[in-house]
Amino acid sequence: MLKKIIKNKIGMGILARLHHLLEESVEYSRRINDERYIYNQVRKGVVFSDATTLEGECQIETESFFVGKVSVKSYSLIGTRNILFGGDISIGRYCQLAPYVSIYSKNHSLQTLTAYNNKRLFDSRLKELDEYKSVQIGNDVWVGIGTTILSGVKIGSGVIIGAGSVVTKDIPDYVLAAGNPARVIKKRFSDELIDLLLKWQWWNLSPSELLAFEKLFFMKLPESETGMIQTITEIIRNR
């Protein structure tokens, strides 16, 4: 009896190792054929759906989970354990999502007898009633840790979302918003500076092109506002 148990255990151990090796080699061959793993920095345990696109030079931290149609533009960072569940989710350039951010572009049906749509009932057919509304995040957006962004929401460029927020409605460009539900707490800069930043759209430049403007990115506001306005006006005039 003891012999049989030992033999079984050894057998199971070998099988488990073999299974693990097989899994690793499948993952490896998938990665070497997948552009997302070549032109971006993707850490361990990240799961992409086939419809996920990364524009390039993105950084995806450990164990983040992409479902459905999710697009992330260049130089953006998706923190550890984000869940981006599309529908249709687009994230602009130079965004930073802190750890534990969730974006859901999906709702269960609200008009039916039950919101339950699990496969245990009617073999998943109730999932056909799910409602998807796109989520759009602009450029240069910083989303604080543990934030949830709900379906149908559009967040402008230059926005900061405070930690632990629940974003239920659109957020305009260049504001700081926070809370549950997230409300605009303040405009980040003067209207004049915001207008100029939206005209310049620095996020369309690559990090090497931005080297020429490095000084601007170290200026502190509001003290340097006048200097910043003059410099950006000049940049826009000369391009």
Positions marked active-site: 108
DSSP assignment, residue 45? Answer: T
Q: Least distance from C-beta 131 to ligand COA, angstroms? A: 28
Nearer to ligand COA, 68 or 179 (CB): 179
Nearer to ligand COA, 145 or 235 (CB): 145
> Are the C-beta atoms of 89 and 69 separated by less than 8 Å?
yes
Residue 69 neighbours by CB under 8 Å, 6+ apart? 49, 51, 52, 86, 87, 88, 89
Among 191, 195, 234, which residue's Cα sits nearest to residue 213? 234
Nearer to ligand COA, 126 or 159 (CB): 159
Collapse the DSSP code of 201 into the 3-class scheme (helix H, G, I; strand E, B; otherwise coil) and give the result. coil
Count other C-beta atoms under 10 Å from residue 127's C-beta: 14
Nearer to ligand COA, 68 or 146 (CB): 146
Q: Maximum distance among all alpha carbons in the chain?
A: 86
Nearer to ligand COA, 145 or 216 (CB): 145
Among 202, 220, 97, which residue's Cα sits nearest to residue 149? 97
Q: Which position's Cβ is nearest ligand COA?
A: 162
Residues of this chain that bind ligand COA (CB under 6 A): 98, 144-145, 160, 162-165, 176, 178-179, 185
Q: Least distance from C-beta 188 to ligand COA, angstroms? A: 8
Q: Least distance from C-beta 77 to ligand COA, angstroms? A: 8
Q: Least distance from C-beta 235 to ligand COA, angstroms? A: 27
Tokens at 18, concatenated: 């073999």
* CA separation, residue 144 to residues 138, 162, 182 (Å): 15, 5, 12
Q: Least distance from C-beta 214 to ligand COA, angstroms? A: 22
> Are the C-beta atoms of 58 and 40 separated by less than 8 Å?
yes
